[in-house]
Chains A and B, each alone.
Chain A
Amino acid sequence: MNCDEVKRSLQDYVTRELAPEDRRVFDAHLVECGECQRELALMTAVVSTLDHQPVLEPRPGFSEKVMRSLPRQRVFLLSPWWSLVLAPLLAGLVWLFRGQAARVLEAALSRSGLSQVTVPTLSLQQAGIAGLAVVLVGLAVAVGAGAYAWQVYLRD
């Protein structure tokens, strides 16, 4: 290796990226060349300073500031996805109390003079339950979406 070659592989030598056989040749040249020794000392100073840069800490309160400024769109508790859980739950409740629900519905229908209307395949009771279930599912979705929108509104 001559001086030019040594200078070309100087950085890889310092960062230990030079192949072992090249390293030996490099060392051999170094022993007898003052100028390359100087180059090596300088590059070593540069690389070791760069390698040992300290971790800098932001001002106190940084983490709190970050946490406060997170957008809350994804707050799990109030996401509209809850409607997917709530809807079958409510439908189940409707099923359990279908007798009472049908009576209430029948009474309401007869009061409004619609008791004459008959659905061919569904009994009035079944139709009532189905209608109520649809209403409740819709309500659950609406409540979920409303809560979600309110949450987003509060944060932004």
Chain B
Amino acid sequence: MSRYMESVSEQVLVSRSARGDEQAFGVLVERYKGMLYSMSRRLMKDPGRAEDAAQESFIKAWAALPGFKGESKFSSWLYRICYNTCISELRKRKPEVELDEAMGVPVEGPVQEFRNRDIQATIQEEVSKLPDDYRAALTLYHFNGLSYEEIAKLTRKPMGTVKAHIHRARAALKTRLLERVGWDNLKEVMWQ
């Protein structure tokens, strides 16, 4: 990849890619692979399937680029493709579950020793148990940095639903964190 191509603006790269310039598209892949893989990894959970979904998203983007009119940001457009790819892949696999059902599995109770790193690991683990829609909304908000409005547009869901999903997911995570770690441990770690 040439130095020159790396410094070319995104807009130029996008329009060149739309005309079939593979080198330009290669720069975009390089730029967005981490973002797209992380996103699909969080939605799909399984690393292998996440990589397949990220790859498929790039291929779909390449094919659809001539139709990209630049009305939204290129990144948002790419996220939408990735979201659709992951969600349709997830739908093939298993039926949707409700939040209470997914998070209702009892835990063994607070552990003895705890560190800050463990709090994050616990939360991440609980995130992976969330129903797909909740996990997707949470990922798009916190990881991709999209607003409620952008998420609603991208997922074709009412904004109220998106907001409710995110709020309920965070509340469920908070409850699980308390159950699994225990307040005494948390207090010690957080306020040390």
A joins B in a complex: yes
A55 and B37 CA atoms in complex are apart in Å by: 8
Q: Using a CB-CB cutoff of 8 Å, which residues 38-67 of chain A contact chain B?
A: 38-39, 41-43, 45-47, 49-51, 53-59, 62-63, 65-67
B102 within 8 A of A: no
Chain A residues lying within 8 Å of B173, measured Cβ to Cβ, are 46
Could you tell me the distance in whole angstroms from the C-beta of A129 to the nearest C-beta in chain B? 36
B159 within 8 A of A: no
A19 within 8 A of B: no
Chain B residues lying within 8 Å of A45, measured Cβ to Cβ, are 119, 123, 177, 186, 190
Could you tell me the distance in whole angstroms from the C-beta of A42 to the nearest C-beta in chain B? 5
Could you tell me the distance in whole angstroms from the C-beta of B165 to the nearest C-beta in chain A? 12
Chain B residues lying within 8 Å of A43, measured Cβ to Cβ, are 170, 174
Query: Chain B: which residue is nearest A41 at the CB level?
Result: B190
Query: Chain B: which residue is nearest A50 at the CB level?
Result: B142
Chain B residues lying within 8 Å of A55, measured Cβ to Cβ, are 34-35, 38
Q: Using a CB-CB cutoff of 8 Å, which residues 142-192 of chain B contact chain A?
A: 142-143, 167, 170-171, 173-174, 177-178, 183, 186-187, 190-191
Give the size of the chain B interface in residues (CB under 8 angstroms). Answer: 44
Contact of A63 with B119 in the complex, beta carbons under 8 Å: no
Contact of A53 with B177 in the complex, beta carbons under 8 Å: no
One digit per residue, 1 when the CB lies within 8 angstroms of any chain A CB and 0 when it does not, for chain B 16-43 equals 0001111001100110011101100110
Could you tell me the distance in whole angstroms from the C-beta of B178 to the nearest C-beta in chain A? 6
Give the size of the chain A interface in residues (CB under 8 angstroms). Answer: 30
Contact of A50 with B138 in the complex, beta carbons under 8 Å: yes
A45 and B62 CA atoms in complex are apart in Å by: 39
B12 within 8 A of A: no
Residue numbers of B with Cβ under 8 A of A are 19-22, 25-26, 29-30, 33-35, 37-38, 41-42, 50-51, 54-55, 58-59, 62-63, 66, 119-120, 123-124, 127, 138, 142-143, 167, 170-171, 173-174, 177-178, 183, 186-187, 190-191
Residue numbers of A with Cβ under 8 A of B are 11, 38-39, 41-43, 45-47, 49-51, 53-59, 62-63, 65-67, 69-71, 74-76
Contact of B37 with A49 in the complex, beta carbons under 8 Å: no
Contact of A50 with B123 in the complex, beta carbons under 8 Å: yes
Contact of A53 with B142 in the complex, beta carbons under 8 Å: yes
Contact of B190 with A65 in the complex, beta carbons under 8 Å: no
19 contacts between A and B (CB under 8 A): A41-B187, A43-B174, A45-B186, A45-B190, A50-B138, A53-B42, A53-B124, A53-B143, A55-B38, A56-B34, A56-B41, A57-B34, A58-B51, A63-B33, A66-B29, A66-B55, A66-B59, A69-B55, A74-B20
Other-chain residue from A11, A53, A65, A75 in contact with B20 (beta carbon distance below 8 A):
A75
A65 and B58 CA atoms in complex are apart in Å by: 11
Other-chain residue from A50, A51, A56, A74 in contact with B37 (beta carbon distance below 8 A):
A56
Chain A residues lying within 8 Å of B37, measured Cβ to Cβ, are 56-58, 62
Other-chain residue from A38, A57, A67 in contact with B26 (beta carbon distance below 8 A):
A67
Q: Which of A41, A62, A71 has the most CB of B within 10 A?
A: A62
Could you tell me the distance in whole angstroms from the C-beta of B117 to the nearest C-beta in chain A? 11
A69 and B60 CA atoms in complex are apart in Å by: 11
Chain A residues lying within 8 Å of B191, measured Cβ to Cβ, are 41
Given A41-B190, A56-B37: A50 touches B29 (CB 8 Å cut-off): no
Query: Chain A: which residue is nearest B65 at the CB level?
Result: A74
